[in-house]
Amino acid sequence: MIVITGGAGMIGSMIAWQLNRQGRDDLVLVDRQTHPDQWQNLCHRRYAEYLDKDELPTWLESNGQAVTAVIHMGAISATTERDWNRLLQDNIRYSQRLWQFCARRGIPLIYASSAATYGAGEQGFRDASINELRPLNAYGYSKQVFDQWALRQSAAGVAPPLWAGFKFFNVYGPNEYHKGRMASVAFHCYNQFRDTGTVRLFKSDRPDIADGMQSRDFIYVKDVAAVVAWFLDASVPSGIYNLGTGQARSFKDLAMAVMISTGREPHITWIDMPDDLKGRYQYHTQADMTKLRAAGYVQPFHSLEDGVRDYVQNYLMQDDAYC
């Protein structure tokens, strides 16, 4: 059995989607649902068991011998979360317990890190070294703390036989409606344009960057799911890996792709950046994908236009928007 924490979330449910497509339904999905419609992320999946996140430790004590891999996507993912005690328990301690379980049992562990660990990108976006990174928020720091702990454990020989921490860049795609403000820009652009006929984008408060030219490495969630599923069967080095496309695109590009995908005339409205994001805002991210490619992953990623078109036309514009 494969345990997927965060299984009712966007990335977790889409990893389950990918594994279902590959013929696997021996999945144990684990989560703490916070949205009344989040069950919709489960209803299209085939799986053996669903557990609340607090039930997992006890379940593992009784059923751990049947587990063949753990995919740990569950976490507090809000970049605006400031309660360090919550981040400590959910993003660090919970992850450490799963690491220790996998190390004892000798089974693979794949977990979610984040590109938020790179902060403003002063040290670049290379996954070869992480110790000098300066995250801009407590969420990013919680991911950095666990990455550093994992590397120390691995160096000491206390590690799963295969482990990978993925620094996800800006993931967008089906099954993210429950994330509220933390949902992707693509999701918010679509809803704004549908409801008001315009897309609101932040003005730039840096003189060297034009409005709308703030950029991110946007990656379609189906590509993320494909990489994670590939790691389960591949013979690859353990470690921390970037997971983006390797190409930064502007928010204006993304907004235009969303609006064009609806078949309507595009229109953008510029708004001031919220005060709580000033000083904590990444103006540019672009994953260095050398390490993943060197590990043997050769499949192409969706272009921004192709990924957005699939998301908008085959999900957001459909009566049943869930995958």
102 CB neighbour count, 10 Å cutoff: 26
Distance CA 231, CA 248 (A): 24
Active-site annotation holds for 283 = no
Angle at 305 between CA 301 and CA 309, to 5 degrees: 105
- Residue at token pair 């345990």: 3
Query: Helical H runs in 184-262?
Result: 185-196, 221-233, 251-262
From 50, 53, 179, 283, active-site residue: 179
Distance CA 59, CA 125 (A): 38
221 neighbors 186 (Cβ within 8 angstroms) = no
In Å, what is the CA distance from 12 to each residue of 27, 282, 289? 11, 25, 22
Task: Give the count of alpha carbons within 13 A of 122, CB side only.
Answer: 8
Active-site annotation holds for 179 = yes
Distance CA 215, CA 78 (A): 20
From 111, 139, 241, 315, active-site residue: 139
- Residue at token pair 């594994």: 19
Would you tell me the crossing angle of helices 185-196 and 251-262 to the nearest 10 degrees? 50
Q: Which residues are catalytic?
A: 139, 179
